[in-house]
Amino acid sequence: MTDEVRVLPWQDLHDFTKRVFVSVGMPEEHATQEADTLMWANLRGVDSHGVVRIPWYVENIGKGIINPTPDIRVMVETPAVALIEADCAIGPVVTNLAADMAVEKAKGVGIGWILIRNHTHQGTMGQYVQRIANHDMAGMIFVCSRPNTAPFGARAAGVSNNPLGLSAPARRHPHLILDMATSLVAMGKVLVARDRGESLPVGWGLDEHGNPAVDPRDLATLLPVGGPKGSGMSLLFECMGSLMVANPLVLPVLSGELGEAKTTGHVGRMARHNQNSVVAAIDVSRFTDMEKYKAEIDSLIDHLKELPRADGFDEILMPGEREERCYAQRVKDGIPVPPATIAGLKKVADDTGIEFIRGVE
């Protein structure tokens, strides 16, 4: 096992990822989409959503939680909306489909609003709203998951920290790509604090007894951003997503229907992974002149970046800008992969009987 960070060309990681997913039964085209998704994240520095997740995906395909050969069906369709049954597909396969359907419907009637039920992990939200922005459209996605965040006023999980993506196309600048969650911080930041041996600030999360988690290893439940704001958005997303598609994710955990005792801790942790999403595209050109629109977005960005800066800021960054810079560098120089991640990937190669990336010990 290597004991240093290796910088690998994205093509090698992409190829390996594809071979892994084919080896566990996924059609090559689906495996390619999953590899694209993980590279999207790694190339943009969102390593928490990159190849580090491969062992978890493979494990969950083995358990039957992720279906490598899903029967994806459109259950409801009008010129403006659709409901897609994902049959536990891995997220990107069905979310790319939904984004493309949203774009097609938006071309027809100005908006496409696609609900996806019963899918699994999608990677970052940014990739899907960027895909929509690339069609000169504004994009939106929100995702519903098991409860992992305390609703405002509670000391136990009862909402999810729903990922939310929004986008608008620019011309000279990268598209505006917001990718956030309704918790104050993402779990990734908690893991970083853990690995650095740092304590958590109050407000990040609670331990299993519902008290503020100080040691990152004790964090059982996240806290919502802005108290009732993040909490309320999350609750409404569950209603506009999961309940709308008859696949509730929070209720069966809270009611104990999934067989867990109610605790003050991260009650969702043990529940079968499952998600629902809403993906929307709005056709800018239906409402205004596309060239003027993009020019105004560029100009708005220029003026925002010229505002006087807060203490401690060298620069005012737009949503997605840091990630686009990282992309420009990593697509050229490669993706740094820590030894623990390499070890995990090598084990996957051994377990699935495929060749690892050549030249990497």
Among 20, 86, 156, 342, indicate the residue that binds a copy of itself (CB under 8 A): 156
Nearer to a copy of itself, 103 or 138 (CB): 138
Between 36 and 298, name the residue whose CB sits nearer to a copy of itself. 298
- Please tell me the distance from the alpha carbon of residue 345 to that of residue 265, in angstroms, as a whole number: 31
Number of residues that bind a copy of itself (CB under 8 A): 78
Q: Which of residues 133-152 bind a copy of itself (CB under 8 A)?
A: 138, 140, 150-152
**Restricting to residues 8-67, which ones interact with a copy of itself according to CB under 8 A?**
none
Q: Which of 54, 93, 94, 176 binds a copy of itself (CB under 8 A)?
A: 176
Examine residue 160 and tell whether it contacts a copy of itself (CB under 8 A). Answer: no
Which residue in this structure is represented by tokens 């000169």? 136
Q: Choose, by CB under 8 A, the member of 271, 318, 337, 345 that binds a copy of itself.
A: 318
From the number of C-beta atoms within 10 Å of its C-beta (0-12, 13-18, 19+), residue 37 rates as: buried
Contact by Cβ (8 Å): 108, 77: no
**Contact flag: residue 308 with a copy of itself (CB under 8 A):** yes
Q: Are 89 and 72 in contact (CB under 8 A)?
A: yes
φ, ψ (nearest 5 deg) of residue 332? -90, -50
Question: Of all helices (H) and strands (E), which one includes residue 182?
Answer: none
Closest CA to 149 of 121, 180, 183: 183
| Residues within window 226-285 making contact with a copy of itself, judged by CB under 8 A | 226, 228-230, 232-233, 235-236, 238-240, 243-246, 248, 250-251, 254-255, 264, 282, 284
Binding string, residues 204-223; x marks residues near a copy of itself by CB under 8 A? ------x-------------
Greatest extent of the chain over all pairs of C-alpha atoms, in Å: 57
| Selected binder of a copy of itself within 3, 29, 315, 361 (CB under 8 A) | 315
In angstroms, give the least distance from the CB of 112 to a copy of itself.
9
Does 76 bind a copy of itself (CB under 8 A)? Our answer is: yes
- Yes or no: say if 50 and 39 are a contact pair by the CB < 8 Å rule: yes
Of residues 120, 122, 23, 42, the one with CA closest to residue 342: 42
